[in-house]
Structure 1
Amino acid sequence: MIVYEKEDTYVLIAQQDHARISGDLMAAWQEELLGERISEVIQAAYEHDRSWAGLDVDPIWNDAAGRPYSFRDFPPNIRFLHYRHGIDELERINPYAAVLSSLLYTMLAERADTPETRAFVSREKGRQANIQAELGLYMETLHYHLNALVLCDELSLFLCMEPPGTPIRQYEWFASGFVYPQPRGCGGRRIKAQWQGDHVVVLSEGPFARPVDTVLAYKEVCKGETKQLGIAAAYKQAELRSHRVRFLVGEVK
């Protein structure tokens, strides 16, 4: 669950709804840049957070922080168990999407050196080696696809982690922009994003063949109701809302 706080409410966005935005972005990526396995890469973007599907049905309360748990602080013993099961499911459907999802999760997990992350990373590296050997993957292409997934994931998080229209300088993670991957081992360039009103995000440049129209689905839960009903019940009865957003390339000040 992605969570941010307003004065009287919490805004909660299910990870699968966040992943759908990632998929919409990847589906607009220039095909000649993605090269091979286009449909599998697009599916990876849409499905990379399927591990959270069960966890997001009933959000839970973080007593220490005094707010709902989000993906940033969710208990690791539960989180990594679901990560593994979600990637297991994806591997049965699409092994290439599974290896991309696994690589994304291990990259994030390696930022924290804990017993839980070490065990998860060790297990997933075994999975990655097996899939790479089975499919005979070209590593340069795999890494480009992974970096493309990271960009789509982060642009979606840009939509989800703060209210629409928030100035870029107020973002904890994205104030310095995003890495725009370049094919054929050329590294990456940094691009900037900026809200233009509440429904348009302008990118300084990008790999997309067209403007990307997507929908941000969310629930807004009153803080008073979380105290009366508990976060799970308050979330369940809250209305599912939607907010239209378009990504396009233009001038970023």
Structure 2
Amino acid sequence: MIIREQAQHFIMIEQHEHARLSGEIASRLLPELFIQDTYKKDVLYAIYEHDRAWIRVDQVPIWNDKEKEPYYFVNYPYPVKLKMYQAGIEEVEEHSPYAAYLVSHHFTQFPDIQNGTDEFSIAFCEEEEHRQQRLRRAAAPQEAEVVDQHSRLLEFCDDLSLYVCMNEPGVTKQEEHPWFKNGLTQVSTADPDAPSLQAKWLDSQTVQVTPSPFAAPFQTELSYKRVSKQWIEEKGLSDAYEQTPEMKQALHFR
């Protein structure tokens, strides 16, 4: 779950919905960013499905008593989260081994996992390294630069979708979530010294990315729930979430 706290509500966005938005972003990128068409469907599948591990969990959100908020993707119980990630990778592999490689690699690059010294992080990285070696031999492009570029596209689309989900629509650059103060992941590995891409809300519906990586401006939407804090207190988080109607946020990218 992704959450934004407001005075009387929590904005709650399911992870798979965030991933769907990531996929919509990916599908609108300049074609040449994929380098070759051969693997484009696999790359798009990886981006659309990279957070499918959260589908079942997000149906029944749980309350964090310590923080007085719903658990979300950053502070969700860590050992459970890692097991979920692996279950999601396995589901992706059933459809596309190369997509599973990209998703596995994506997760093992997360700083808390990659740099973790706890037994859960170490075991996860070891198991996923074995998986990545197997999948790369069996299904990945031979050219390392192609694989690196596809990994970069997943990271960029994840970043931009999180930018939308974690910021209030129309927020100023000064009030953005701190994760995005220095820009987004560079969309191409061709020029490693190129400046980061910058995202900016122009109004409550429009996000501008500079320089634009898109083939053309496009419109889409994001589903979310605006869950009342009073309802949570009265009903409990699970019932309050279930009974809150879904809403749609219109989005324009340029």
| TM-score for the superposition, normalised by structure 2 | 0.93
**Alpha-carbon distance, 1:17 to partner:** 0.6
Q: One-letter code of the match for 1:197? A: D
Equivalent pairs counted in the alignment come to 248
**Which string of whole-angstrom CA distances, capped at 9 and with x for unpartnered residues, describes residues 12-53 of structure 1?**
000011011100110011112212211111111110101111
1:50 counterpart residue number: 52
Q: In structure 1, the residue corresponding to 2:4 is in which secondary structure? A: strand
Q: Is the 8 A contact 1:28 1:210 kept in 2?
A: yes
* 1:154-233 → structure 2 map (5 Å cutoff): 154-170=159-175, 171-184=177-190, 186=192, 188-233=194-239
Residue 203 of structure 1, CA deviation: 1.4
Q: 1:119 offset after TM fit, Å?
A: 1.2
Say which of 240, 243, 247 aligns to 1:237. 243
Shift of 1:184: 4.2
Q: How far is the alpha carbon of 1:209 from its aligned partner?
A: 0.6
Residue pair 1:217, 1:243 contacting (<8 A) in 2 also = yes
Separation (CA, whole Å) in 1 of partners of 2:140 and 2:45 = 19
Report the counterpart of residue 251 of structure 1 in structure 2. Answer: none
Q: Give 1:206 shift.
A: 2.7
Match of residue 101, structure 2, among 99, 102, 115: 99
Alignment RMSD, CA only? 1.4
Within 5 A, what are the aligned runs for 1:39-118? 39-108=41-110, 109-118=113-122
The amino acid that maps onto 2:91 is E
Is there any run of 5+ residues in structure 1 with no aligned partner, and where?
249-253
The 2-side partners of 1:147 and 1:139 are apart by 12
Residue type of the alignment partner of 1:3? I
Kindly state the Cα deviation for residue 6 of structure 1 after the two structures are TM-superposed: 0.2
Q: Which amino acid aligns with 2:89?
A: I
Q: Equivalent residue for 1:17?
A: 17
* Change in 2 beyond 3 A, CA 1:197/1:111: farther
Once residues 140 and 85 of structure 1 are traced to their aligned partners in structure 2, the CA distance between those partners, rounded to angstroms, is 28
Q: Which ranges of structure 2 fall in alignment gaps of 5 or more residues?
A: none
Q: Which secondary structure does the structure 2 equivalent of 1:208 belong to?
A: coil
**What's the secondary structure of 1:53's corresponding residue?**
helix
- Indicate if the aligned counterparts of 1:221 and 1:235 stay in contact, CA closer than 8 A: yes
Q: In 2 relative to 1, CA 161–112 (structure 1 residues): closer, same or farther, beyond 3 Å?
A: farther
CA distance in 1, matches of 2:154, 2:193: 15
11-20 or 24-33, larger mean C-alpha shift: 24-33
Query: Are residues 147 and 234 of structure 1, via their aligned partners in 2, closer, same or farther at CA, if it must alter by over 3 Å?
Result: same
TM-score of the aligned structures, taking structure 1 as reference length: 0.94
Q: Deviations over 1:48-81 (max 9, x none)?
A: 1011111111000011111100001000121111
CA drift at 1:112: 3.8
For residue 181 of structure 1, give the secondary structure of its aligned residue in structure 2.
coil
Counterpart position of 2:145: 140
Q: 1:87 to 1:80 in 2, by over 3 A?
A: same
User: What is the DSSP-based 3-state SS (H/G/I as helix, E as strand, rest coil) of the residue aligned with 2:57?
Assistant: coil
Amino acid at match of 1:35: I
AA paired with 1:201? V
1:147 corresponds to which letter in structure 2? R
1:86 maps to amino acid: G
